[in-house]
Structure 1
C-alpha cells in the first residue's frame, strides 16, 4: 500500500518600508541582501517592498519577522512593516498593518477589510470601489458574497478575478518554477563587463531577445530573474515582479537598477582584482508565463519586417507627440458596441485583459464593421406609422420601412428586438432595445431605440 504524504502549503511574508523613496533602487539592495541571508528566495514587488516564501510549520513566524525588522532597521534606519498570510494578496494587506494572519485564516482576515483594499489587487479602479460602497458593499466580505455572475456582468472580468482574491482564492505560488532552458537568454561577452555602464549597454538587446523569444511562442511573463556571474565564479540572482506588458526599455531599466544595487553595496567580489569583479555572464529568465491572448498583448501578432517598421514609426510619433498619443485597441467586456473595445497608450499602459467569455446580454458576433455613426432614423410599419418598443420589449407593429436621410428604404428582414437594462442601481441607469434590419438596398444596420428615438449605431458589411 502506498501512503501519500500531503505537505503543508507554504506561507508568504511581505515586507514594506512605508517611508521609502520609490526611486532609490540602489539603496534598496542592502535590504534585499539581508533578506538573502534569511531566506533562499526573494521577489521584489516594487522598490521598497518584497515578498519571501515561508514553509508552513518551519518555525516561529513572529520571531522571524522581528529579526527581519531589526535587520532592516540596522541597515537603512527606517521603519519596516511585515505581514504573513497564506496568499500573496492577504500578505500584502497584512503588511500594511504589521499583522500575522493565522494559517487557513486568509478568508476571515480579508472579510473585514475595507472595500478600498481591492486597489491592491491591481485589478480594480478607485472609482469602482466607490461605486461598490455607494451600493452598501463596504467590506471585502460583503463583496466576496455577491453572486459571481452578477459581479462579472456588471463590473467585468478583472473585478471578478479580484472577487476571487477577496475570497482568499486565485493565488499564485510565490516561488516560480525554473524557466525552460529555451526561454532563458544570456550574454557572455568576449571582454567581461567591468562597469555598470558596460553591462547595461548589453541589457537592452538582451531584454529585446527575451521578449522576442516569448513573443515567438505567444507568451509573456509576470516575473523576470536577473542573474549575473563574475570572473571569480560568484553568482548573483534577483527576481522582479513585472507587468505582462513590459517593454524592452522598461526591462533593461530593471536590469540597470539591479546591477547598480549590487555594485553600490561594493564590488561583487570583496577584494580581488578587476577581472575577478567583472561580470562575465548576464542572464534573464522569465517566470509566471501567460499567453499573449490571455494577457491582451501584441500589436498585430507576429512581428514581421513590416510590423517592425510600423512600430518604429509609432515610436517616432510618440517622440514627437508624447507617449499618450499612440493608442491601440483591445477586446474588452461589455454589452454595447462602445464597450466591446478599450484602448491603451501603446507601450505605456497595460493593455486591457481580453473578455473571459460571452457577456450576458452582449451583442453577438459578428459585430458591425462601421460603428459610432449614431444618425437618427425612423422605423415605420407598412402604413407609415412609427414603430415603438414597449417596456417588456415588444414592438408596437411589424417593422416595414426605415426612414434615413430623407429616403424610405424597405426592410427585407429583421431580428429582435433585444431589450437591455444596465446599471439600474446607479445614476447611470440605461434602458434600450436593439433591432437588426436588412434593407432592400443591400445594406444591414444595427438600430437602437432609446429615450423615445431610433438611431443607427452600426452598419454591417
Structure 2
C-alpha cells in the first residue's frame, strides 16, 4: 500500500489574506474578485447570499456593503507562508499545492506522534497559533485527502472509493489544485445533463468509454473518482546538474528585485530541463540567509510547470519570506543565495503543446497581461466584445469584463427580421463619427465634407418630401435623395424596409413607450452605404444611422 496522505485546508484563504493585508475586520463581508467573478468570500458574505462564481455586480447587489478586493496570488502566498512555517515544527515534508492548501505524507507523522487524533490536534493547534483556521483530511490518495479536508474526513485505509462515491459530482470542481476549474466545470455540467449526479455514478462508468467521450480531462477526473493511485512517483530520473543556483550580491531584500530575479532563474531552469527533454512537476525553492540559516519550500503542481508558473511561485515564495517571519523576523534577514531544484520530472513529450505552437505561449502572455491590468485597475477596466443573439448589429455584440462569461450563450438563430449579410463594418457610430461626403459619385473623388452623424438623416423624394415609414411598415414615398448634416446625395439604391417588433411585453423605459421600428439600407452616390432605422409611424426623431458599410 502506498503512503497515506494528509491534506490541510484553510477555508476562504484568499479572503482571509485580503482581509489581513487590507486591515479589514472579520465582521465585514468581503469577497475576492478575479476575471471570472467571485473567487472566494468570507462567512459573513456567504450568510447574505454571496457565492463563488457570482459576477461582481450580482454579488454587490446581494450585499451592498460588500468589500471587494482584487485577486492577488502573491499576497495569498505571502500571508500563507507563516502558516506553513508553523507546521514545519510539527510535520516534515510539507508540499504546497496552492496558498491555503498543503499536503504531506502522513505515515511518518502518525508513527512519531502516536496516532491520527494526535497528529490532527497538533496540526490544528499549530495553524491556530499562527492565527488561522484549518480542516484536515486523511486518505490513501492525494485527491481524496484534498476533497476530504473540506469535510474533515479522516478515512481508514482502503475507504477512499466509498467516501468519494457519496459526494455530488460537483465536488470535482471545488479544488483548483486538482485541475483546471473551467474545464472541470464544463465536464461536470455535461455529466449532470447526462444524469450523472454523484461521483460514484461517474466512477461506475467504463474508463475506456470516459476517455473516448470526455477526453483527457474526463479521464483524469475519472481516476480521481475511482481513487486509483494518483500520480505515482516518477520513474524519470532528475537530470544531474539541473538545479539552478544564484548568489545574490548584494543580498536580496526587496520584493521587486525578487520578481525580476525570479523570471531570469525560471528561464534558466526551464532551458536546462528542455535540453534534457523533461518537465518539472515538483519544485524545491531554497533560500540561504545572511546569518547562515536556510529555508526551503516544495511546490507540487497538477500539471508540468511552465516558465511563467515557475517564476510566479518563486516570486510568491520570496515575497512570503521577505515580508514574513522566516527571514525578516530575525537578524540578517536578507537572502544571499537562491536554489531552484526539480524534485520530480516527467518526459516533456507528456505535455501536449497547443495546436498553433508559439501562438499558445503568446495567448498565455496576453492573458497574464490583461489579468494584471485588471488587478491594478479593477475587473471592469478591461472589456472584450462577446457575440450574443439579436436582430440588429449592435445587439449581436455585448461588452463584458475580460474573463466573464455571457449570461446566456450566443444564439445562432433563427432570428426573424434580423439584419441580412453583410454586416456593417462600423456599428452604432455615435456622435463622434464623421461621414465623408465626396465631391462626385466617383469613388476616387476628393472629400467635400466630413459630417457628424449626430445631426440625423433625412430621406426625401425627388420633389423634396420627407419619407417616413407607416405603421404597416411601408414607405410613405419613393426615396431619391439622402440628406446628412445639410449635405445631399442622390441614392444609387435602397432596400425595402423591414419592421421589427420585439420585447413588446416589457415595461416602458425612461418614460417612453416601446414602439416597433423599421430598418433599411441605402447607397448614397457620394458617401458610403448606410444602415438606417426609425420608429414606425409619424415620429419626430426620424431616421438615425445604425451602421456604415465602409
Q: TM-score when scaled to structure 1?
A: 0.59
Contact preservation (8 Å) 1:12, 1:51: yes
- Alignment of 1:105 with 2:159, yes or no, is yes
From 103, 107, 119, the counterpart of 1:64: 119
> Could you list the runs of 5+ residues in structure 1 that have no partner in the other structure?
1-7, 302-306, 325-347, 349-461
User: What residue number does 2:335 align with?
Assistant: 279
Q: 1:240 and 1:61, CA in 2 relative to 1: closer, same or farther beyond 3 A?
A: same
From 319, 326, 335, the counterpart of 1:260: 319
After alignment, is 116-125 or 149-158 more displaced? 116-125
**Aligned pairs, number:** 309
Secondary structure of the 1:125 match is helix
Q: 1:167 and 1:315, CA in 2 relative to 1: closer, same or farther beyond 3 A?
A: closer
Displacement of 1:98: 0.8
Displacement of 1:117: 2.0
User: What residue number does 1:382 align with?
Assistant: none
User: What residue number does 1:155 align with?
Assistant: 214
Measured in 2, the distance between the counterparts of 1:267 and 1:38 equals 16
Secondary structure of the 1:41 match is coil
User: What residue number does 1:18 align with?
Assistant: 11
Displacement of 1:194: 4.1
Displacement of 1:318: 9.0
Displacement of 1:133: 2.5
User: What residue number does 1:89 align with?
Assistant: 143
User: What residue number does 2:529 align with?
Assistant: none
User: What residue number does 2:516 align with?
Assistant: none
Q: 1:118 and 1:188, CA in 2 relative to 1: closer, same or farther beyond 3 A?
A: same
Per-residue Cα deviation, 1:231-277 (whole angstroms, up to 9, x for no partner): 332111101234646443442232122122123233628654xxx43
Measured in 1, the distance between the counterparts of 2:282 and 2:3 equals 19
Displacement of 1:152: 1.6
Measured in 1, the distance between the counterparts of 2:231 and 2:370 equals 41
User: What residue number does 2:38 align with?
Assistant: none
Secondary structure of the 2:172 match is helix
Q: TM-score when scaled to structure 2?
A: 0.50
Measured in 2, the distance between the counterparts of 1:190 and 1:215 equals 28
User: What residue number does 1:73 align with?
Assistant: 128
Contact preservation (8 Å) 1:185, 1:210: yes
User: What residue number does 1:378 align with?
Assistant: none
Per-residue Cα deviation, 1:39-76 (whole angstroms, up to 9, x for no partner): 11111111111111111762311221122112212212
From 246, 263, 284, the counterpart of 1:204: 263
Measured in 2, the distance between the counterparts of 1:66 and 1:321 equals 40
After alignment, is 183-192 or 203-212 more displaced? 183-192
- Alignment of 1:164 with 2:223, yes or no, is yes
Q: 1:268 and 1:175, CA in 2 relative to 1: closer, same or farther beyond 3 A?
A: farther
Displacement of 1:189: 3.6
User: What residue number does 1:289 align with?
Assistant: 345
User: What residue number does 2:104 align with?
Assistant: 52
Secondary structure of the 1:102 match is coil
From 210, 214, 231, the counterpart of 2:290: 231
Give matches, 1:396-415, under 5 Å.
none
Displacement of 1:106: 0.9
Q: 1:37 and 1:181, CA in 2 relative to 1: closer, same or farther beyond 3 A?
A: farther
Give matches, 1:360-375, under 5 Å.
none
Displacement of 1:169: 0.6
Measured in 2, the distance between the counterparts of 1:85 and 1:314 equals 35
Q: 1:195 and 1:317, CA in 2 relative to 1: closer, same or farther beyond 3 A?
A: closer
Q: 1:240 and 1:178, CA in 2 relative to 1: closer, same or farther beyond 3 A?
A: farther
Secondary structure of the 1:33 match is helix
Per-residue Cα deviation, 1:288-328 (whole angstroms, up to 9, x for no partner): 32233311137888xxxxx89x978996899799999xxxx
Contact preservation (8 Å) 1:19, 1:79: no
